[in-house]
């Protein structure tokens, strides 16, 4: 979240799209209700289904799964053509005025630079025009035909209300009602918050879904504002922390990149990773990249990391290809992987195309599952009739199931969606042989190190040189780990005036203290400040709210540097006048910016040319994404890989995303409308958390058995009654579930054809306290988003029939 949970109460409009906040985030949703009651806010839900969020919304607008970009580009078109945007914000704080290279173009579904033979883009034209000093050219009048604003205007002009209706199936009247609600927040003193989750990310165009809303929020002037922002509601209680700490295939902690094969040495890596300033006099905070990275290497390797050995840079793996979870399963199925260590992850239930996952796991020599409950993954080899139709005698994988603790059985920090890092304390020790995850991992690590010491092996330095300065080597405490993450001075540190700021061994209080010379260590630069010399900041519990805006700066600690609202300098105009006096966060006190939040800015005085988005090279929010996205610098509608209309009304020659992640074997398992005429979509219910809580009796009581939701029209057509058992089939397999016939799912008219949506919650399986059921991911296709490789769980094709 750019903002945070409590801040939702400041919104005038809450758009729930690409998520179902009331259903999946019922506790945080209290702030949406608070906005409704105390701020007269309206709630708009845009969703294929009438959800629990819709039940308390002012408006619900339907669309077909997988068409969010069309809808949102349609909103952009409406806002721009009706002059419903915040003009000063757009001119000053976005790249609207920046001139784009003359060779950038978009034609018939493809951006410039497409290489059909390689099936990839040369992104060099996706850039600004630069002057002789290397700064981007601008036209503040927004008149220049090559300025971003005019290119954007042209790009979205194709998304008329008629086109939205044709692609999304949203009646024009409903769409225009939604547009009017968006448009009201173009006023400087009105804000809209966007609450989204996996309903946007789990698409082949997931990242672009979110980007389209980001463009809307920028032109409405809602970024940096209390009650505004782009707010990802994270699904697991600490998945934000997991993302921050970089547990991704190509990430290092704090959104630093894992080196790849082109980064032959430290200097090359740093040169390629550190962005250059492209706007005169701007901050370009990522210019500090080397400080964060070298402090990370010092945290990894301690005294072993020296300037002479490039701080141990060469011990880091250099990737040749992205080995994300989807590729990992693919490689496992290809027999390229022998062992799999699964921690807190129910692979068989959570990866798409369950049969593929089973085939892959069956090829492993060993599988280690670290989990607090008996999961389908640890038991993938068991036969459970139709629910898991495998032959145990043919599976040779050796499975180790290591019981771990649940969150309430350990001390530690949990980072919530709003970046608040909150400390929590053990309520009870784990039962039986259960151990904390860190104890399990540490014990494995110590054993591996022992084997390397005794027997040697390939690349022993990675293991042998790793700093492991915990008091109990096999059981590092959460305190020790988070203090290491925070970082410390490895020598006395002096500022530019020669004043001592930190003594050797002291905890750093901000990433501003980090150095690129090896005199500081920091495990995740954005967490610097969470455990300082003043102690554990995450354990703070002061609910004082001096601004009344819900920032509560004394409650726990938020990254970065306890800042509650990102880009908060953009809540004021260039001269420091707040867009809305009722939402003033900061003011200039004559020497610096100060107020109710930690300024996301430098000490540049009011009226300076320094732009508010200091993490960007040019200091402004990007309507045009340069080369940062795989599909293009603007967002474009591409059909889901399994499309119910089989064409793209915008450009029939390019129907689906040209850059989508799809392996050959998986392409052969895609279906079409002849056999699978209905649109399937998967989702979560409030009664359960993924596949974990089916192990809990109380959750099982409230939603005991798998079901699918279908419309009254589809039910009538197939002679299905509520409560009947139905079989839902895709090109990958079938599930049998109970039918819930509901008015909340409706037939849509898409491209002139009636289109039915089949809703499939995901919570049941062959283990647990619920009724035994099929894993819903039997049905879903193994396709990934081009940027994030997140699987497509939200739009695919199925057939439905009644079974007796």
Partner 1 sequence: MSLQTQDYLARSGTNALTPPPRARDAQLKVAKLIDVSICIGCKACQVACAEWNDLREEVGFNVGKYENPLNLSSETWTVMRFNEIEENGKLQWLIRKDGCMHCSDPGCLKACPSPGAIVKHANGIVDFISENCIGCGYCVTGCPFDVPRISSHDKRAYKCTLCVDRVSVGQEPACVKTCPTSAIRFGTKEDMKHVAEERIAELQSRGFANAGLYDPEGVGGTHVMYVLHHADRPELYNGLPKDPKINPLIGFWKGIFKPLAAVGFAVTFAAAALHYLAVGPIDPEEHDEEEKS
Residues that bind partner 1 (CB under 8 A): 22-23, 26-27, 29-30, 33, 36-37, 40, 50, 52-56, 58, 60, 686-687, 697-707, 721-724, 738-744, 769-771
Report the nearest approach of partner 1 to the CB of residue 353 (Å): 25
- DSSP designation for 312: G
Residue in 316, 299, 298, 318 with CA at minimum distance from that of residue 307:
298
Report the nearest approach of partner 1 to the CB of residue 712 (Å): 10
Burial letters for 432-459: b for 16+ Cβ neighbours within 10 Å, e otherwise? eebbbbbbbbbeebeeebeebeeeeeee
Of residues 52 and 123, the one with the C-beta less far from partner 1: 52
Of residues 178 and 526, the one with the C-beta less far from partner 1: 178
Report the nearest approach of partner 1 to the CB of residue 710 (Å): 10
Report the nearest approach of partner 1 to the CB of residue 766 (Å): 15
Burial letters for 281-320: b for 16+ Cβ neighbours within 10 Å, e otherwise? ebbbbbebbbbbbbbbbbbbbbebbeeebbbbbebbeeee
Report the nearest approach of partner 1 to the CB of residue 493 (Å): 45
Of residues 171 and 403, the one with the C-beta less far from partner 1: 171
Report the nearest approach of partner 1 to the CB of residue 124 (Å): 49
Report the nearest approach of partner 1 to the CB of residue 706 (Å): 7
Query: Alpha-carbon torsion 178, 181, 187, 190, what sign?
Result: negative
Of residues 10 and 204, the one with the C-beta less far from partner 1: 10
Report the nearest approach of partner 1 to the CB of residue 797 (Å): 24
Report the nearest approach of partner 1 to the CB of residue 367 (Å): 29
Report the nearest approach of partner 1 to the CB of residue 50 (Å): 6
Of residues 148 and 715, the one with the C-beta less far from partner 1: 715
Report the nearest approach of partner 1 to the CB of residue 635 (Å): 30
Of residues 503 and 771, the one with the C-beta less far from partner 1: 771
Of residues 79 and 373, the one with the C-beta less far from partner 1: 373
Of residues 246 and 768, the one with the C-beta less far from partner 1: 768
Of residues 181 and 329, the one with the C-beta less far from partner 1: 181
Report the nearest approach of partner 1 to the CB of residue 700 (Å): 5
Compute the CA torsion angle 486, 490, 491, 497 (nearest 10 deg): -30
Burial letters for 182-217: b for 16+ Cβ neighbours within 10 Å, e otherwise? bbebbebebbbbbbbbbbbbbbbbbbbbbbbbbbbb
C-beta of residue 766 within 8 angstroms of C-beta of residue 376? yes
Of residues 17 and 151, the one with the C-beta less far from partner 1: 17
The H or E element that residue 421 is part of is strand 420-424
Query: Alpha-carbon torsion 588, 594, 599, 601, what sign?
Result: positive
| Structure tokens that stand for 769 in this block | 């306290």
Of residues 60 and 563, the one with the C-beta less far from partner 1: 60
Of residues 33 and 337, the one with the C-beta less far from partner 1: 33
Of residues 391 and 743, the one with the C-beta less far from partner 1: 743
Q: How would DSSP label each residue in 539-572?
A: G-B----TTSSS--TTBSEETTTT-SSTTGGGGB
| Residues whose CB is less than 8 angstroms from the CB of residue 207 and which lie 6 or more positions away in sequence, other chains included | 201, 629, 630, 785, 786, 787, 788
Of residues 50 and 452, the one with the C-beta less far from partner 1: 50
C-beta of residue 177 within 8 angstroms of C-beta of residue 190? no
- DSSP designation for 101: P
Residue in 140, 345, 332 with CA at minimum distance from that of residue 242:
345
Residues 199, 18: Cα–Cα separation, whole Å:
4
Residues 723, 745: Cα–Cα separation, whole Å:
16
Of residues 46 and 731, the one with the C-beta less far from partner 1: 46
Report the nearest approach of partner 1 to the CB of residue 771 (Å): 7
Q: Compute how many other C-beta atoms are within 10 angstroms of the C-beta atom of residue 803.
A: 9
Rg, the chain, Cα only: 26
Hey, which residues does 593 pair with through a beta bridge? 588
| Structure tokens that stand for 434 in this block | 């259960």
| Structure tokens that stand for 370 in this block | 């670290």
Of residues 668 and 698, the one with the C-beta less far from partner 1: 698
Distance from first CA to last CA of the chain, Å, rounded? 47
Of residues 699 and 755, the one with the C-beta less far from partner 1: 699
Dihedrals φ, ψ of 735, to 5°?
A: -130, 155
- DSSP designation for 621: B
Residue in 560, 513, 565, 503 with CA at minimum distance from that of residue 537:
560
Residue in 233, 163, 85 with CA at minimum distance from that of residue 636:
163
C-beta of residue 381 within 8 angstroms of C-beta of residue 390? yes
| Structure tokens that stand for 671 in this block | 């279906």
What does DSSP say about strands 725-730 and 796-803: parallel, antiparallel, or unpaired? antiparallel
Residues 521, 514: Cα–Cα separation, whole Å:
8
Report the nearest approach of partner 1 to the CB of residue 480 (Å): 35
Dihedrals φ, ψ of 776, to 5°?
A: -60, -30
Task: Let me know if 176 is exposed, middle or buried by CB neighbors in 10 A (0-12, 13-18, 19+).
Answer: middle
Count of all residues that appear for the chain in the document: 804
Residues 711, 718: Cα–Cα separation, whole Å:
11
Report the nearest approach of partner 1 to the CB of residue 720 (Å): 10
Of residues 42 and 622, the one with the C-beta less far from partner 1: 42
Report the nearest approach of partner 1 to the CB of residue 237 (Å): 15
Report the nearest approach of partner 1 to the CB of residue 684 (Å): 12
Query: Alpha-carbon torsion 137, 141, 147, 152, what sign?
Result: positive
Report the nearest approach of partner 1 to the CB of residue 36 (Å): 7
């Amino acid at each position: 979240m750019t903002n945070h949970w409590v801040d939702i109460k400041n919104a005038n409009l809450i758009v729930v799209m690409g998520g179902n906040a009331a259903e999946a985030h019922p506790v945080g949703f209290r702030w949406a209700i608070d906005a409704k009651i105390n701020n007269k806010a309206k709630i708009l839900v845009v969703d294929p289904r009438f959800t629990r969020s819709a039940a308390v919304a002012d408006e619900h607008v339907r669309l077909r799964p997988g068409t969010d970009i069309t809808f949102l580009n349609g909103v952009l078109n409406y806002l721009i053509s009706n002059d419903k945007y915040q003009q000063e914000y757009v001119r000053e704080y976005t790249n609207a005025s920046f001139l784009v290279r003359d060779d950038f173009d978009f034609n018939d579904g493809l951006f410039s630079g497409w290489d059909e033979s390689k099936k990839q883009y040369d992104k060099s034209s996706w850039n600004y025009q630069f002057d002789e000093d290397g700064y981007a050219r601008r036209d503040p009048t927004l008149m220049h035909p090559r300025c971003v604003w005019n290119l954007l205007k042209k790009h979205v002009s194709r998304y008329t209300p008629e086109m939205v209706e044709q692609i999304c199936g949203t009646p024009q009247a409903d769409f225009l009602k939604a547009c009017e609600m968006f448009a009201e927040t173009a006023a400087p003193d009105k804000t809209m918050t966007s609450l989204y989750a996996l309903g946007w990310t789990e698409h082949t165009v997931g990242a672009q879904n979110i980007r389209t809303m980001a463009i809307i929020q920028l032109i409405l002037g809602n970024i940096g504002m209390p009650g505004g922002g782009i707010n990802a509601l994270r699904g697991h209680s600490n998945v934000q922390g997991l993302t921050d700490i970089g547990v991704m295939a190509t990430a290092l902690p704090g959104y630093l990149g894992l080196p790849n094969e082109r980064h032959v040495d430290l200097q090359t890596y740093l040169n390629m990773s550190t962005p250059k300033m492209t706007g005169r006099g701007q901050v370009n905070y990522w210019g500090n990249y080397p400080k964060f990275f070298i402090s990370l290497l010092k945290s990894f390797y301690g005294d072993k990391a020296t300037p002479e050995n490039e701080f141990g840079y060469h011990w880091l793996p250099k990737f040749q290809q992205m080995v994300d979870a989807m590729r990992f399963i693919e490689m496992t199925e290809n027999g390229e992987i022998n062992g799999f260590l699964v921690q807190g992850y129910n692979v068989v239930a959570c990866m798409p195309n369950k049969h593929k996952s089973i085939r892959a796991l069956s090829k492993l020599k060993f599988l280690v599952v670290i989990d607090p409950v008996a999961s389908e993954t640890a038991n993938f080899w068991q036969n459970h009739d139709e629910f898991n139709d495998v032959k145990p005698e043919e599976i040779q994988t050796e499975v180790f199931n290591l019981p771990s603790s649940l969150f309430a059985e350990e001390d530690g920090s949990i980072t919530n969606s709003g970046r608040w890092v909150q400390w929590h304390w053990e309520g009870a020790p784990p039962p039986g042989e259960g151990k904390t995850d860190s104890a399990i991992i540490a014990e494995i690590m110590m054993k591996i190190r022992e084997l390397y010491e005794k027997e040697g092996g390939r690349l022993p330095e990675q293991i042998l040189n790793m700093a492991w300065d915990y008091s109990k080597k096999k059981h590092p405490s959460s305190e020790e780990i988070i203090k290491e993450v925070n970082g410390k001075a490895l020598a006395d540190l002096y500022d530019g005036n020669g004043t001592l700021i930190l003594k050797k061994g002291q905890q750093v209080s901000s990433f501003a203290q980090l150095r690129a010379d090896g005199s500081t260590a920091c495990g995740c630069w954005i967490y610097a400040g969470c455990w300082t010399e003043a102690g554990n900041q995450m354990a703070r519990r002061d609910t004082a709210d001096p601004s009344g805006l819900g920032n509560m700066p004394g409650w726990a600690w938020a990254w970065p540097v306890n800042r509650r609202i990102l880009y908060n300098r953009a809540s004021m105009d260039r001269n420091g006048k707040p867009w809305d006096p009722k939402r003033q966060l900061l003011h200039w006190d004559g020497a610096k910016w100060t107020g109710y939040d930690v300024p996301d800015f430098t000490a540049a005085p009011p009226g300076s040319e320094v732009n508010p988005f200091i993490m960007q090279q040019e200091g402004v929010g990007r309507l045009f994404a340069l080369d940062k996205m795989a599909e293009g610098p603007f967002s474009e509608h591409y059909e889901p890989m399994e499309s119910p209309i089989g064409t793209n009304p915008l450009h029939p020659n390019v129907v689906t995303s040209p850059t989508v992640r799809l392996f050959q074997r998986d392409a052969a398992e895609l279906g079409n409308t002849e056999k699978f005429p209905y649109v399937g979509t998967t989702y979560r219910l409030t009664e359960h958390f993924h596949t974990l809580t089916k192990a809990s009796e109380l959750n099982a009581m409230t939603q005991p058995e798998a079901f699918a939701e279908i419309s009254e029209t589809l039910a009538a057509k197939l002679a299905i009654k509520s409560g009947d058992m139905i079989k839902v089939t895709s090109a990958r397999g079938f599930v049998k579930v109970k039918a819930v016939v509901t008015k909340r799912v409706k037939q849509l008219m898409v491209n002139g054809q009636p289109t039915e949506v089949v809703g499939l919650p995901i919570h049941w399986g062959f283990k647990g306290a619920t009724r035994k059921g099929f894993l819903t991911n039997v049905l879903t296709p193994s396709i990934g988003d081009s940027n994030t490789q997140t699987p497509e769980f939200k739009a695919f094709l199925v057939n439905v029939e009644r079974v007796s």
